[in-house]
Amino acid sequence: MRVSSASPRLAATLLLFGLLMAGAIIATLAVRGNFRTASREALQDTVEVAMDAVREDLSESLGHLHGIQALFNASGVVGRREFDVFVTIFLDQSEGTQALEWIPRVTHDEREEYEARIRAEGFKDFAIHPPGDRGEYFPVTYVSPMDPNLTAFGFDLATEPNRLNALERARDTGKLVATAPITLVQETASQKGFLIYAPIYRDAEVPGTIEERRASLLGFGLAVFRVDDFVLGAVPATAFSQFNLEILDVAPETIVIIHSNLAAHEGLSPESGLTVTRELEMAGRAWTLNFSAPAGYGVSAFERNLWLAVLAVGALLALSLAGSFNVIMGARQRALTLAERMTRSLAESEAQRAQMFELSVELIITADREGRFAFVSGAARRILGREPGEMVGQPYLDFIHPEDRDLARAAAADVYAGEVLPALDIRFLRADGTTVILNWNMAILPAPHDLILAVGRDLTEERAAETAKADFVSMVSHELRSPLTSIRGRLELLLDGAAGEMPEQALAMVEAAAGSSLRLQHLIDMLLDLSRIDAGMFEVDLEAVDLAAVTRRAAESVSTGHRDRTIELSLNLPDGLPPVYADPERLGQVITNVLVNAYSYTPDGGRIAVSAEVEDGAARLAIKDSGVGIHPDDHERVFERFFRAEQIGPRPPGSTGLGLAIARSLMELQRGEIRLESAPGEGSTFTLVLDLFRRDSEPGTGEQTSRSSRASRTGNRTP
Ligand code: ADP
């Protein structure tokens, strides 16, 4: 389910992301296109400036040639010095011009005279070169400036095809004509150069026909250029660091690369970036200038990278929008998944609980307000011999022993009223008609359940054992105690002389027998007490008790019994002591027990002081002796059954280690306690603490008539 519903969401998210990304890319392309246009425009602007400068330089140079033409037309014969002076002004103006020259036409007949004339000027070794006889010669005659161009001096331009070609065209057309790119005679580096011929005829006017032009040709004014110097002179040097320039000579002959600094700017080939192409009319030739620059030429880094920012922002936007979409769709999906998982785990824990209930040895049931079983655990099979399914929906009273139905009804009402009940024995009927005793703990399962939850423990066997024990106790009490009482009675009678005067020896034996039977009776009494306490059958009747009176009675009886002892017994019982809440008989038993111990463990000559006081709403009766004392390690243990502390000297007759154990139980049954303070050799003080009697704890209200009777009704508390 998760996979099948997650996939469409993913697909939708991806589709949305794709659409948004497409938008971002379109925006990016627009920005990038925009920036390319700006870049191209910037390059075009630079190129325009450069081209203007080149054209201006070119036309200036052409102007200089026209000047030279005019000079020769005006004066017919121009001396070397005259020429130099005239062109110096031009050369100063134009850095791109390598030289300005005068090239006369010299026929073979004139050659000797011509060379002699030049030599006469002081150039002793002058000769037209390259050597050889030709019909006519076009030697470089005046060259300004002379020094860097000395090698060209006397060079016959007609000896080289490119130079001759342009020369002839200039002669035949009467126009300024440039050569194709050539390497200058005077070139020392590797630059290309070119020449522009300006034909000069005998008359100022250009003759009408080619024949006339050839016939009347005097020679040429010549401008010499090195391409790089010419172009660099025109274009600001900084511009070259930003773009490449390739110059091609494209017409009228084959294409020749005149200039290229592409190698200087690797990676700036025309393809990689922007290219702007311009045509230049170069004195009868067509030049193409390719200016190329990297993409982003002339725009700021910010503009150059703006597209990146647009792409990044676009991508982020697409991501976050698609992400949000996904999250929103996912949240819905997760809520559904969570709900489903919760339902499942609820069902699982329900199942687990049902299994736990099923395995429980105790019977677990729930019942509604109508008194019908809503749930019955599997233990019903073993405990009641019934199928849980048969019981559900049935009134539970039908399964309860008739004598306990009222008790069950009352208990249910108490639980619904919010009371916390102690465990309660309720007898149930098995399928086979026998009875089981179940000890129930009950609680309310609040709304929306509004059910009683009860857990019943099968105590049938335990209760049977308790009954057997109680039976044994009563057996012992009757079978052992009754004959012993009659033995004691008869011994007393004998001692009282019922059988007449007895011989001395017989009297001693009867006295010993009477003492032993008395101790035996005490022992049996104590064992019976303990059995009854253990069985929860020890009856105490709590009522308002005059503590002083009970104490006085016990003290009297004990001191009478210890007439032969020289121990001083003092009673300090203030008048008007409020009554305590106790069972007078059991309280007397405890006081007697403690007093007997005090006599037993106090040597002759010692003292016993009994005092009572009321403090913090409780009465305290302290029985203090000056006897052997008890080591602190044994303070708790003396209240254990059969414990007797180590002691110096003979143990008192009849010591069983049971007295204080019974005393503590009896005090607890009377909601009181017994405390001990003592140290070896410093005597002991046993203090009995009892509640004072209050009106609301008056006997007869049922609540406190007898804890033991309550205990017998509800059975033992589940530990
Ligand atoms: P017993 O029958 O031995 O007196 P108890 O349960 O009454 O049994 O007392 C347990 C032990 O506590 C006694 O054996 C004795 O060692 C010690 N004991 C009890 N009362 C006193 C006392 N007043 N002084 C010293 N030791 C005492």
CB of 627 closer than 6 A to ligand 1?
yes
Cα–ligand 1 centroid distance for 445 (angstroms): 52
Cα–ligand 1 centroid distance for 559 (angstroms): 18
Question: Ligand 1 pocket check: which of 530, 600, 648, 651 to mutate, most ligand atoms within 8 Å of Cβ?
Answer: 600
Q: What does the pLDDT look like over 121-152, one tens digit per residue?
A: 999 999 999 999 999 999 999 999 998 899 99
| Averaged pLDDT for residues 153-182 | 93
pLDDT for residue 4 is more than 90: no
Supply the pLDDT for residue 573: 95
- CATH label, 463-534, candidates 1.10.1220, 1.10.287, 1.10.260, 3.30.160: 1.10.287
Say which range, 384-398, 416-430, 564-578, 595-609, has the weakest mean pLDDT: 416-430
Mean pLDDT taken over the chain:
85
CB of 659 closer than 6 A to ligand 1?
yes
Q: What does the pLDDT look like over 211-246, one tens digit per residue?
A: 999 999 999 999 999 888 887 777 666 666 667 778
pLDDT for residue 645 is more than 70: yes
Q: Is the pTM of this model over 0.85?
A: no
Token pair 């079983």: residue: 373
Could you tell me which CATH number the domain at 48-293 has? 3.30.450.350
Question: Ligand 1 pocket check: which of 638, 646, 674 to mutate, most ligand atoms within 8 Å of Cβ?
Answer: 638
Superfamily for the 360-458 domain:
PAS domain (3.30.450.20)
CB of 655 closer than 6 A to ligand 1?
yes
| Averaged pLDDT for residues 491-514 | 86
Half-sphere exposure at residue 711, Cβ-oriented, CA atoms within 13 angstroms:
17
CB of 625 closer than 6 A to ligand 1?
yes
Supply the pLDDT for residue 700: 43
Q: How far apart are CA 401 and CA 281, in angstroms?
A: 132
CB of 680 closer than 6 A to ligand 1?
no
389 or 715, higher pLDDT? 389
| Averaged pLDDT for residues 634-661 | 86
Q: How far apart are CA 576 and CA 156, in angstroms?
A: 165
Q: C-alpha distances in angstroms, 184 versus 181, 556, 613?
A: 9, 160, 145
CB of 595 closer than 6 A to ligand 1?
no
Same fold, 48-293 and 539-714: no
Q: What is the DSSP letter of 718?
A: P
Cα–ligand 1 centroid distance for 641 (angstroms): 11
| Averaged pLDDT for residues 45-56 | 85
CB of 601 closer than 6 A to ligand 1?
yes
307 or 608, higher pLDDT? 608
Cα–ligand 1 centroid distance for 596 (angstroms): 9
The DSSP string of 575-614 is: TTPPPEEE-HHHHHHHHHHHHHHHHHTS-TT-EEEEEEEE
- CATH label, 539-714, candidates 1.10.357.10, 3.20.20.140, 3.90.1200.10, 3.30.565.10: 3.30.565.10
Encoded amino acid at 129, one letter = H
527 or 622, higher pLDDT? 622
SS (H, E, C) 125-169: CCCCECCCCCCEECECCEEECCHHHHHHCCEEHHHCHHHHHHHHH
pLDDT for residue 406 is more than 90: yes
Question: Ligand 1 pocket check: which of 626, 644, 651 to mutate, most ligand atoms within 8 Å of Cβ?
Answer: 644
CB of 647 closer than 6 A to ligand 1?
yes
Element (H, E) at 52: helix 2-75
Domain assignments of the chain as residue spans, ordered by start: 48-293, 360-458, 463-534, 539-714
CB of 628 closer than 6 A to ligand 1?
yes
CB of 708 closer than 6 A to ligand 1?
no
Q: What is the DSSP letter of 647?
A: -
70 or 295, higher pLDDT? 70
Closest atom of ligand 1 to CA, residue 683: 24
Cα–ligand 1 centroid distance for 577 (angstroms): 29
Residue 616 pLDDT class (50, 70, 90 cuts):
confident
Q: Is 419 helix (H, G, I), strand (E, B) or coil?
A: coil
674 or 238, higher pLDDT? 674
pLDDT for residue 547 is more than 80: yes
Token pair 């007949």: residue: 109
Encoded amino acid at 176, one letter = L
Q: What does the pLDDT look like over 80-120, one tens digit per residue?
A: 999 998 888 888 877 778 899 999 999 999 999 999 999 99
568 or 95, higher pLDDT? 568
Q: C-alpha distances in angstroms, 497 versus 110, 493, 506, 675?
A: 206, 6, 12, 45
Residue 704 pLDDT class (50, 70, 90 cuts):
very low
| Averaged pLDDT for residues 524-540 | 83
